[in-house]
Structure 1
């Protein structure tokens, strides 16, 4: 069975994985994929199994979404721009106090000034935590929460932005800043690390693989907001620079628009793969490893392999 093959892929990489994959048709016309989806879901119990229009492995179990949260954030930003509530050209200064570490402006040594729309670009393309945090200050956390309700992402829970996640990690190890965290974290016992709130779906931003593919389908079908807002999110996700997870599983001619997420022991990516014939498939993959390492190339490759197995199954069923 396809589900067993997917589980074996993760087991060989030393991880446990969950996945959901569905066809979404060619953007932005996705009407054909709505036929039979409810019936297919009813035949797949407890998030396990494969039906004609989905592959599900633990698809309804709660998962930490980490930086995949930024897709919701940027979608809400694009919706507010389309509604005339925000000016995408508004300038924002990223100062030392705003830096959260990591890629993009989050790791800059000096102050940087850029527009709101470039904050959105950096948040998605390089997963810039500072850019996402400043963008969230303009968009509003409550509006992002309301967005999940509007889109009927019933298992998605948003508790905060990147700064909230960082502060949670600092407080749990008793560190005042990232430098002190880097010194304290390695010597913390493994069992204590595993109990950290950022790794617990009940205490941090969380969803399910099925909810995330629903979000992607709505974006690709222009059903998550105004068409220009959905198009902007699709375009930004296509510009993500990280190519080591979903992209690794597909041939060069297959385009992938996606967003990664990473925390110690958690590796994930959600995106849409588009074949030259125009067919598209939304895939969300979440892996949890036994070792709490942030870098696990074998697990990253397993995410791509599992996604390819699921999509190949859907393509065979669709013929």
Structure 2
């Protein structure tokens, strides 16, 4: 049985359709399943956002210690500062840390305001990411969800969303790669490869991105598939029924592999499906082992 067939079996066992791409950062050997189809990025776009922050910091265009106050009107809910009861003051570099490590939407939104939302499509174009589409940040994503269901605020959305049918949920624009921030698994890995080879900006900037990817607190997806001596750098993305993660694994022998996995549950919208997360880890390890066996 081929490696792609084994990976497909892993995902079939938990009832998901998946897009996957794995590539050896140095030899460029690769394994893919629907790797060139467009997928919703959700919070994985924060890799590009933090890269732009790091490039501006390295160029002296902004001071990473600049202070930002996170106020009630800024909070978007979710992890990190979105759950604060009071105003919080952070530096720009700590906003980048919260956005990457905790997938903090509020921090990402404030960081995006500072670096310039219009700059991200330009960065994608500069790096040759022709399949990557940036339509906005976390605030725009949430606003599109509210508009699609007819909610005026958080409270109305929380009340309306559980009453929607699965078909109605899947019709939301945030699930359509043509109407929201999107890319392909292969192109996400191209970005990661450039970051690891210091081709996406000055070495000082790419080092910042790698350091922050190493600090993600979530471990149940790609990281769950690898032993402790394999170092994992990753960024999650989650929407109802969608589980995704992109990152790099580094082996003690120097092997470096970029992985992008986008899994969509065939039924149900539960946000917490540990079986899907763990299947992503198993698929990631299977893909990397397949690449290593090619040597």
Normalising TM by the smaller chain, what interval?
over 0.9
Aligned to 1:228: 204
TM-score w.r.t. structure 1 length? 0.91
Aligned to 2:219: 243
1:252 corresponds to 2:235: no
Coordinate RMSD, CA, aligned: 0.8
| 1:106 Cα deviation from its structure 2 partner | 1.4
Q: Across the two proteins, how many residue pairs are aligned to each other? A: 293
- One of 75, 78, 94 as aligned partner of 1:102: 78
Cα-to-partner distance string for 1:110-145 (whole Å, 9 max, x where unaligned): 110010000000000000000000000011111111
What CA distance in whole angstroms lies between the structure 2 residues aligned with 1:190 and 1:246? 27
Selected match of 1:297 from 274, 277, 282: 274
Q: Alpha-carbon deviation of 1:107? A: 1.4
Aligned with 2:253 (options 268, 274, 277)? 277
Displacement after TM superposition at 1:172 (Å): 1.1
- 2:11 aligned partner: 10
Residue 214 (structure 1) aligned with residue 190 (structure 2): yes
Question: In the alignment, does 2:65 pair up with 1:89?
Answer: yes
SS of match in other structure, 1:21 = strand
SS in 1 for 2:118: helix
| Structure-2 residue corresponding to 1:30 | none
Who is 2:130 aligned against? 154
List gaps (5 residues or longer) in structure 2. none
Answer yes or no: is 1:307 the counterpart of 2:278.
no
Match of 2:263 in 1: 287
Task: Please give the TM-score of this superposition, normalised by the length of structure 2.
Answer: 0.98
Provide the rounded CA distance (Å) in 1 between the counterparts of 2:15 and 2:63: 46
Runs of 4+ displaced beyond 2 Å = none
User: Post-superposition shift, 1:159?
Assistant: 0.3
SS at match of 1:141: coil
Shift of 1:279: 1.2
Deviations 1:267-301 (A, max 9, x none): 00000001111211000000011222211111111
Partner of 1:42: none
> What runs of 5+ residues in structure 1 fail to find an aligned partner?
26-32, 38-52
Match of 1:137 among 92, 95, 113: 113
Q: 1:114 aligns with which of 77, 87, 90?
A: 90
Deviation at 1:176, TM superposition (A): 1.7
